[in-house]
A and B are shown apart, each in its own frame.
Chain A
């Protein structure tokens, strides 16, 4: 049994201009769009059907959420910088930016934790109202996505980084793919924030 060479792992296929991983991640993100789309759709149905719908600000903590928005946007920038540094061969600076991204993601989760625990402290649970139910579901699912991003990025900062020495091209592709996922997580939050907190 010899080594199996799967084509277009390193270099893009000529007619599509894409590597396998690049196409794969976009398809995955397409399915994620449908996942969050269904939940947003649920939000609209619940809101339209409700006799009264609370203003997010009256229940939720807008300053904390604004802080989280800033954190997540910054982490998106550090992520794309991590990729750009790799593109110009600055591996050390790449690592710095990637580490910063992970740090910011943890910051996001910590703020989220503070938010959640205050809610629980005030006995605001998903069972209280459909507004809180959709709030916890959407932010919870988004939080899981953040966690997933942390796992992936930590892998590329630690054991996964070895590949830079052996196959730099492929490693860069991986960072790009991880970045695409991370920006998508940011993108979802950009919509969650006004929908849940401001409206």
Chain B
């Protein structure tokens, strides 16, 4: 809304030297907010990862006491170190929620979008700095509510991250907190997305036309539209589920519902399928919210480290827009099994096949950009390169899920888990790591250590495949997801059950592989190799034209853009890169 975002300038005049709180905690500077988002999101990412490590113990050794660590849990979650099914369900639901809404999206959009995007378009700040701050704090409160929910009676939400009714409506108090937390997170996203769109449209510097925007900015732009228009239906759905839980209404409860042999005393007349529609109307675009910023980061890093322009920049941009548009009309491919009828199924199957086309175009362009380049294999580039096949696997394994006939077999099996984790974990999260290694020198003035970085990369790359590749095998064998014992009580799961141990060990090794990153991160922040130039990677985009780290207000000169974003190795030039802001000679 309008109120409150304009007083910024006057206030700054009164406080020439803002105190610690105003500078680092309640800051309106997009860079500080970006870093706040980054730190918070990394903590949540780590926390969500820990939840999964616990689950993997139960899956590999169902019913056995967890040594050492198990003692620290209460009797309501792991009595004697043995995990209760309810607690396992909580872990599963919260792992998904935290990773998606508190980890990856805030890191990809909140952190990288906030920090890098205004720099890349040459803006002094976001269009509404105070709303930007409000967006972070709404996110923070949402995160706290989610964490608090672990400590209410009955534990955190345990009906899956999708919160399908009627199960979610009968669930314990944790579910109410989940819904409240989501309302805060959605508010945060809405504030953020309005801000992003206005900033990109209004605050581009002179000469920076839309077709000169770095691909990362385009990715953020489309993402912001997805957040803006897809999240409100989930907010509506959340309100309806809150009404059901708190006011006893029956939006998602059918008449004559019998629970544990007892007829429910609700008015009935609702439909659980409605929740699925509203949820997936958000959650499918949300998939692209997870992936588009990652594509943006990877595109920046690939262009920079191949020292070549991106191959097919324009087709990539048009594909991106088309992808964003199509992502709104594929949602029901998550619901082929709900009996929507063949007409609807056929429609959504078709749109799903269509949406794979622009994804393939973007990925192919990135692959073709490598052709003939003299590639610099530094840590950010390694992560960016690994992203390509990993995202490819994730995308291609999605095709059988998008076709109704094959989906009948694969629906709700570990195959699905493998598919979307390939997109998001070795896909998006690798791209986010690449981004951290790439922009770290801009934010801190120091480079991250290359040896530790490569160690981090190799470990992560091997073990993450060890976690997710076997899931396809298990899924094809018909092992369902969300099974508390990992399938031990199902005869048909027998032959592939051994894989659970391998996946769990890989997961724990993957945790160890993150140690070099954590050490590197803190070590480099204080004692890393200092960069000698504001543009250590010799990049062409505007964020490298600022001092290091950029001061409040970002630029020491008024930048003007005179060329496209990726003018690398231009024939006849003495330097192998021509920054967007470097004036034309003569």
Contacts and interface: CB of A to CB of B under 8 A. Distances in A.
Q: Is the interface of A mostly helix, strand, loop or mixed?
A: helix
Interface stretch (B4-12, B92-100, B315-323): B4-12
Contacts of B232: 31-32, 34-35, 37-38
Interface in B196-221: 197-198, 201-203
Contact of A127 (B125, B127, B230, B250): B250
A6 B1 CA distance: 17
B267 A128 contact: yes
Given A24-B194, A46-B269, A39 B236 contact: yes
Interface in A7-21: 7-9, 13, 16, 18, 20-21
A30 B240 contact: no
A5 B251 contact: no
A111 B195 CA distance: 36
B228 interface: yes
A127 B266 contact: yes
B68 to A, nearest CB: 48
Interface string B217-244: 0000000000011111101110110010
Nearest to A177: B2
B251 A7 contact: no
A130 B8 contact: no
Nearest to B278: A38
Given A3-B13, A130-B251, A8 B202 contact: yes
Contacts, number: 171
B202 A130 contact: no
B536 interface: no
A126 B247 contact: yes
B125 A31 contact: no
A174 B6 contact: yes
B271 A30 contact: no
B552 interface: yes
A4 B369 CA distance: 39
Given A16-B201, A24-B127, A24-B194, A5 B9 contact: yes
Among B228, B267, B271, the most chain A Cβ lie within 10 Å of the Cβ of B267
B16 interface: yes
B236 A30 contact: no
Interface in B12-58: 12-13, 16-18
Interface of B: 1-3, 5-6, 8-10, 12-13, 16-18, 124-125, 127-129, 190, 193-195, 197-198, 201-203, 228-233, 235-237, 239-240, 243, 247-251, 266-271, 274, 278, 281, 552-553
Given A13-B202, A127-B247, 19 more contacts: A1-B16, A16-B201, A20-B128, A20-B203, A23-B197, A27-B198, A31-B194, A31-B231, A34-B232, A36-B236, A37-B233, A38-B235, A49-B271, A127-B250, A129-B269, A160-B3, A170-B6, A174-B3, A178-B2
